[in-house]
Structure 1
């Protein structure tokens, strides 16, 4: 005998089905709580519990005095639950890096034909700022994050941009306690400059190889836990 589906779970399913069937889009208003409960044949209490869970995962948004709205997709709920979803160990870092490498290395060749000279110059300035900060013994987290987001913006793929940002942020949080050395900082900065110079040549194979080399070096450092390392990111104090 199949286990009974909890009422709140039934409400989740019914609300999502309602959104799909009525082709509601982000920002669209749903009917009142009472109307939804009647239409779905359930109690207001069950509906309210279902709404709360859908709010928690970023599907719905309750606005005080206005009603219930379909929410635009974001990774915010994932970010909030990251500390409880990953173990801060080498295995988690390597697993995550494997997926991130496949994503960025697999798509970087496509960037070549879409990037403008102005965008390349912007990437060059960011990489140079990293080098300058590294030589001064400073970290460059802001520049690193902007570099990777800017790198894929020419593809005009919002979902890809959010994925790149998600992987970057997850890796930063997991790797936030790692040590930093001057050599590692400059090597990481130089890796980024090598990607820019390869991109300037407009040869997809060269760009892909530069990105591959960058991630290979990160993997090598992760494989040597006794050696302080910097990957794409620098540790930041916990808020």
Structure 2
């Protein structure tokens, strides 16, 4: 016998179907709670629970005293919870780095043609802050994160910015300060100086190479992948 679907899950499905059937757009209101419960043939309590869960994932927005509205979709709820799903053995961090490396190396060449003197000055300032901190033996995660966000700002891609932020959130939770003594702070800072210089001279290929060097250094800092002894490719006769 199939398990009975909880009432609040039925409410979620019905509400999403209602939004689709009525072609509601972000910012559009839904009917009143009473009317919606009547139309869907469910209790107000079940409907209320369904609304709460859809609020949690960013589909609906309940405005006190004003009703329920369709919310503009964002990746925020996904990104806020995704770091907790990563394993602590370092493999997830390496996997994420691989994706981020391909993404940033593939997009960074576009920055050259869209950069402005103001953006270059801001990037240069951040890079110099990194150099100063490195010379004093200090880490500079905040400046590094802000550097990458500023770097891709001309592309006007909020999703890309959120991916950069996600990397740092996961990195801090999984990596923390472990291995900082093995992190060549000055080399990392100089990687960013090289990126700024490539943008300043307008050399797309030089910029891509500079970014590749930067990520290679991060990969070396994280360390090599541990072979999976259970994998057939790793077993010996």
TM-score (normalizing by structure 1): 0.83
Q: Is the 8 A contact 1:105 1:211 kept in 2?
A: yes
Structure-2 separation of matches of 1:161 and 1:204 = 20
Write the mapping of 1:59-208 to structure 2, written as runs, cut at 5 A: 59-82=59-82, 84-181=84-181, 184-208=184-208
Q: Which moved more, 1:138-147 or 1:124-133?
A: 138-147
Instruction: Return the offset for 1:85.
Output: 0.8
Seen in structure 2, the aligned counterparts of structure 1 residues 62 and 116 have a Cα distance that, compared at 3 Å, is same
Q: Between Structure 1 and Structure 2, how many residues are aligned? A: 225
Seen in structure 2, the aligned counterparts of structure 1 residues 25 and 187 have a Cα distance that, compared at 3 Å, is farther
Instruction: Return the offset for 1:151.
Output: 0.7
Match of 1:209 in 2: 209
Structure-2 separation of matches of 1:88 and 1:185 = 24
TM-score (normalizing by structure 2): 0.83
Structure-1 separation of matches of 2:189 and 2:118 = 20
Runs of at least 5 residues in structure 2 that lack an aligned partner in the other structure:
226-237
User: Secondary structure at the residue paired with 1:72?
Assistant: coil
For the pair shown, the structure with the greater C-alpha radius of gyration is 2
Instruction: Return the offset for 1:135.
Output: 0.8
Runs of at least 5 residues in structure 1 that lack an aligned partner in the other structure:
226-239
Q: Is the 8 A contact 1:29 1:67 kept in 2?
A: yes
Match of 2:33 in 1: 33
User: Secondary structure at the residue paired with 2:114?
Assistant: coil
Structure-1 separation of matches of 2:152 and 2:32 = 41
User: Secondary structure at the residue paired with 2:62?
Assistant: strand
Structure-2 separation of matches of 1:113 and 1:23 = 39
User: Secondary structure at the residue paired with 1:61?
Assistant: strand
Q: Is the 8 A contact 1:96 1:167 kept in 2?
A: yes
Q: Is the 8 A contact 1:131 1:190 kept in 2?
A: yes
Seen in structure 2, the aligned counterparts of structure 1 residues 81 and 51 have a Cα distance that, compared at 3 Å, is same
Seen in structure 2, the aligned counterparts of structure 1 residues 133 and 203 have a Cα distance that, compared at 3 Å, is same
Tell me how large the CA RMSD over aligned residues is: 2.4
Instruction: Return the offset for 1:180.
Output: 1.8
Instruction: Return the offset for 1:190.
Output: 1.2
Q: Which moved more, 1:169-178 or 1:213-222?
A: 169-178
Instruction: Return the offset for 1:207.
Output: 1.0
